[in-house]
Amino acid sequence: MSFQFKQFLIQQHKCAQKVSEVACIQGAWTTLPSSCKRVLDIGSGTGLLSLMLAQRFDVIIDAIEIDEETFHQGNENIQHSPFSDKINPMLGDVNTFHVDTTYDFIITNPPFFEKQLQADSVKGNIAKHSSALTLLALIKKIDELLADNGQFSILFPCDRKDELEKTCTTFSFYPISYLFIKHSVSHLPKVMVALFGRNEMVVQEEECIIKENGMYTEQMKQLTAAYYL
């Protein structure tokens, strides 16, 4: 299944991790600082997050993806978009990724299920589990690649919030804001978008409710208005 957004098309039949509502929420909710010039998308997959940021902000984005087949499809999505001159797709493992400079902002939708039962598919394991990239390794790499005044956005399970904060504190990263995502009013939030930086501050917290009575809420419509048809 492909997804037609207002300004770009996502093909995903070759990608292990498909477009999801929560990933779209991450891309739509994440705001880059006005001084931001260079962005890194870790685990870029279909290219969704890079394309969403490129549509809204005047930045250059490096998008790194470890799975070769996923990388090629993500690259096609980017090249067929109006934003191909702003995004540099890269095939590689972020664990061994080195650059001569640092990034002003990093965005990532990392493997979720570190301690849960893994699927049979090797590709599915890489995309959905963190055997190839643990939380500790991810935050350590972000620390290496992020500028001193930089920030990062991460999509993560709510039940691992304490673990995320503890790991980030090890590298002197502190939460700036959280968006807790609920599928309906009656659901508990399972996933959150978290924004971190290097300075301690009063943490802002919000909720996003995706649907009510089977329909998108006004909040969801407004958040994704620049992207959804």
Query: All domains of the chain, ordered by start, with CATH?
Result: 3-13+33-176 (3.40.50.150)
Neighbours of 100 (CB within 10 A): 4
97-145 tens-digit pLDDT? 888 889 999 999 986 543 443 444 444 444 444 446 799 999 999 999 9
pLDDT band (50, 70, 90) for residue 223: very high
Q: What is the mean pLDDT of residues 64-79?
A: 95
pLDDT reported for residue 26: 97
pLDDT tens digits, residue range 132-158? 679 999 999 999 999 999 999 999 999
Query: pTM surpassing 0.75?
Result: yes
CB–CB of 26/153 below 8 Å?
yes
How far apart (Å, rounded) are the C-alpha atoms in residues 19 and 92?
Answer: 21
Q: What is the pLDDT of residue 48?
A: 97
